[in-house]
């Protein structure tokens, strides 16, 4: 875990932790070169020596960096600093869709449709770039304070052109498509199922 005031690559100063995932921690940081706040996803130290995890982390960075869309979190930088593998992303001041639903209790049809359309627009951009997210769920959708919806965490995304057939089911059990759960071929339809 990084501490407040730590620097990554002599550029990004850690401000505070924002969240944690299965293989990485996310921090709010100050980019001193461009004078702006960013989010930095750092591979957890227990995985940084594992070539398989480092490879997955790099795939996330490459997948996300190729996507530019208003409904996808922007990736600004990717790197490694003394064994720390990191991705620098747009900082979204807001909450996950999961927390938003928990907070509101029930969403109106109009709001539900608006959120779903914005998610679908982001997913469409990924699919048009031959990228299948593979883990669409409320925890991977951010809602800014202004109400903008952004898809994030391409941690297990894979290029659709790689014809991914995987014996290991990856994704979140509540939202995973039947073909993904069965370790079968996964394509764009799997993301659409998860969105539904």
DSSP 72: B
Residue closest to 89 by CA, chosen among 21, 135, 171? 21
> Pick the catalytic residue: 135, 153, 187, 191?
135
d(CA 158, CA 105): 33
Is 78 in contact with 42 (CB distance < 8 Å)?
no
Residues 6+ apart with CB under 8 A from 133: 123, 126, 140, 151, 154, 157, 191, 194
d(CA 121, CA 146): 18
Q: What angle do CA 156, 21, 112 make, to 5 degrees?
A: 75
Catalytic residue flag (residue 135): yes
Is 119 in contact with 77 (CB distance < 8 Å)?
no
Q: What angle do CA 23, 17, 157 make, to 5 degrees?
A: 35
Give me the active site residues, please.
Answer: 135
């Amino acid at each position: 875990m990084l501490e407040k005031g730590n620097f990554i690559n002599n550029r990004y100063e850690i401000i505070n932790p924002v969240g944690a995932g299965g293989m990485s921690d996310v921090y709010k940081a100050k980019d001193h070169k461009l004078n702006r706040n960013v989010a930095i996803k750092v591979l957890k130290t227990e995985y940084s020596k594992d070539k398989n995890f480092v490879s997955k982390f790099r795939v996330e960075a490459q997948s996300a960096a190729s996507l530019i869309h208003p409904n996808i979190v922007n990736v600004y930088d990717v790197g490694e600093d003394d064994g720390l593998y990191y991705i620098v992303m747009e900082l979204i001041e807001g909450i996950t869709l999961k927390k938003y639903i928990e907070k509101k209790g029930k969403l109106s049809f109009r709001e539900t449709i608006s959120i779903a359309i914005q998610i679908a627009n982001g997913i469409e951009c990924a699919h048009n770039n031959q990228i299948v997210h593979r883990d669409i769920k409320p925890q991977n959708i951010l809602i800014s304070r202004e109400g903008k919806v952004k898809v994030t965490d391409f941690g297990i995304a894979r290029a659709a052109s790689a014809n991914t057939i995987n014996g290991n089911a990856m994704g979140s059990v509540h939202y995973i498509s039947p073909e993904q759960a069965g370790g079968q071929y996964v394509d764009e339809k799997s993301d659409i199922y998860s969105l539904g």
